[in-house]
Structure 1
Amino acid sequence: MTVLLTGFEPFDGAEVNPSWEAVRLVPGVRAVQLPCVFGEALAHLRAAVREHDPAVVVCVGQAGGRPDVTVERVAVNLDDARIPDNAGRQPIDEPVVRGGPAAYFATLPVKACVAAVRAAGIPASVSQSAGTFVCNHLFYGLMHLIATERPGVRGGFVHVPFAPEQILDQARPSMPVATIAGALAAIADAAVSVDDDLRLVGGSLQ
């Protein structure tokens, strides 16, 4: 069963992006780097899905400031960029897909993925928001693709913390890339092997 993992190129002046650095370390998957650019990221994802014909797609992005690996539950049909992407694009209050539904849920077993990461000794949680930058743009685009053209595919999005080398002069959370790769391997395994998600608390008060 083919699993496709995607990570992003560096953005916002950074020299590395831990999403890609970790994705390319995960054994037994197809790994693809995507541009951090609205529209282009989706075009590259579509091409990768056509090429590899995966059963599972997990897109990965950096969420600097988060202390753990977070498996996203829902993608919203909204681009609202606080900063420009790598092509200088900064959409404000625009839909990802014009006329598309307001939101999509991931088709990964989200809570089982979180449980698998924790079982590997790595901090993880369910996230209720993938933001409104290129990560959510890609997540929503993936789920729209699955809903309209690839209904048998399982898909979702995972956010990962900074790598330690990104914050040497800052008191901010980070996680080694090798640890992130271990978390992604556990998520990929759960996505393939778990049919029905676990019924565990994963909600938030905020």
Structure 2
Amino acid sequence: MRELNVVISGFDHYDGVDVNPAIEVPKAIAEQGLGSASGPDDPLDQVEVTIHVASIPVSFAKAWPTLKETIEATRPDIVIATGLKHSARGVMLERCATNLMDTAKPDADNVTPRREPIDPDGPAAYWTRLPLRSILNDFADDSIPATLSSDAGTFVCNSLFYNLLNWTATQERVLGGFVSFPLVGPAHSSQNGLPLEQQIAAGRDVVREAVRYYLKPSSSDILIA
């Protein structure tokens, strides 16, 4: 049976957030696994997936080196970075990472870069390498509120996303992308957020579709615009 390594990262702390889905979702997927394949024709039936979790500081200087350390130790085929978007009402699939750091609020190291490039020699932006169309189809089947996000902002989430895709561009075949989770909240609430179990199900859908796409790439799975 073929073996695949998947790294799922999440930021380790957000001020004022008691239950952080960017930590709880990756941890739950690593502990619970991806579940059974949908049938004998499902590519997941022919692969053993090992999940590795990385806890990332909310730091412009330290986020990517911390993730890269886990990448170098595990040599993953797929890397999915996750973060928290306070204003989101559902899961947000990030389409684009831009070569820009620009924030008025400090990171964990009290750093506030203003209109600085992440990589002065890098391209202006990268598109995700995850199969967003098939992920959204799974979300619809599982009644998970979700939307596409044009970009991941200009804070540490975007910086990590950009550095990840900058690295995958140098690899022969590694998928990488970024998913933003909402706050953890009650079901059917008018406020922002989703129950943690629903967010775990969403994270599992992302990994399962990324694995399927890795094994059987199809242009119909990609949706970036």
TM-score of the superposed pair, with normalisation by structure 1: 0.89
Distance 1:157 1:16, change over 3 A: same
Equivalent-residue separation in structure 1 for 2:52 and 2:224 (angstroms) = 29
In the TM superposition, what is the alpha-carbon distance from 1:52 to its structure 2 partner? 1.1
122, 132, 135: which one aligns with 1:100: 122
Partner residue of 2:195 out of 172, 176, 179: 176
Q: 1:25 aligns with which of 23, 28, 37?
A: 28
Deviations 1:66-93 (A, max 9, x none): 1111111110000012311111111111
Equivalences, count: 198
The equivalent residue for 1:4 is 7
Separation of aligned partners in 2, 1:111 and 1:20: 25
**2:138 counterpart letter in structure 1:** A
Given candidates 93, 101, 106, the residue that maps to 1:79 is 101
Shift of 1:11: 2.3
Partner of 1:155: 176
Q: Percent of counterpart pairs with the same letter?
A: 32
Cα offset, 1:15, TM superposition:
3.8
Read off the aligned partner of 2:17 and give its amino acid letter: A
- Please list every run of 5 or more consecutive structure 2 residues that lacks an aligned counterpart in the other structure: 34-50
Residues 111 and 126 in structure 1, CA contact (< 8 A), matched pair in contact too = no
Cα distance in structure 2, aligned partners of 1:186 and 1:44 = 25
Q: CA RMSD in A?
A: 2.0
Amino acid paired to 2:194 = M
Mind listing any 5+ residue stretches in structure 1 that lack a counterpart?
Answer: 166-170
Q: Give the whole-Å Cα distance in 2 for the aligned partners of 1:73 and 1:202.
A: 6
Larger radius of gyration: 2
The equivalent residue for 1:168 is: none
Give the 5 Å matches for 1:58-77.
58-77=80-99
- Cα distance change of structure 1 residues 111 and 172 upon mapping to structure 2, 3 Å threshold: same
Partner SS, residue 79 of structure 2: strand
Q: Secondary structure at the match of 1:42?
A: helix
- In 2, are the aligned partners of 1:3 and 1:56 still within 8 Å (CA)? yes
- Could you tell me how far 1:151 is from its partner in structure 2? 3.3
Structure 1 residue ranges (4+ consecutive) displaced by more than 4 angstroms after TM superposition: 199-203
Kept in 1, the 8 Å contact 2:130–2:222? The answer is no
Distance 2:72 2:9 in 1: 14
Equivalence for 2:163 = 141
Distance 1:78 1:185 in 2: 30
TM value normalised by structure 2: 0.82
2:138 is the counterpart of 1:116? yes
Q: Deviations over 1:14-42 (max 9, x none)?
A: 34422111111113321111101112000
Q: CA offsets per residue over residues 131-162 of structure 1, 9 Å max, x none?
A: 110100000000001112x2310000000101
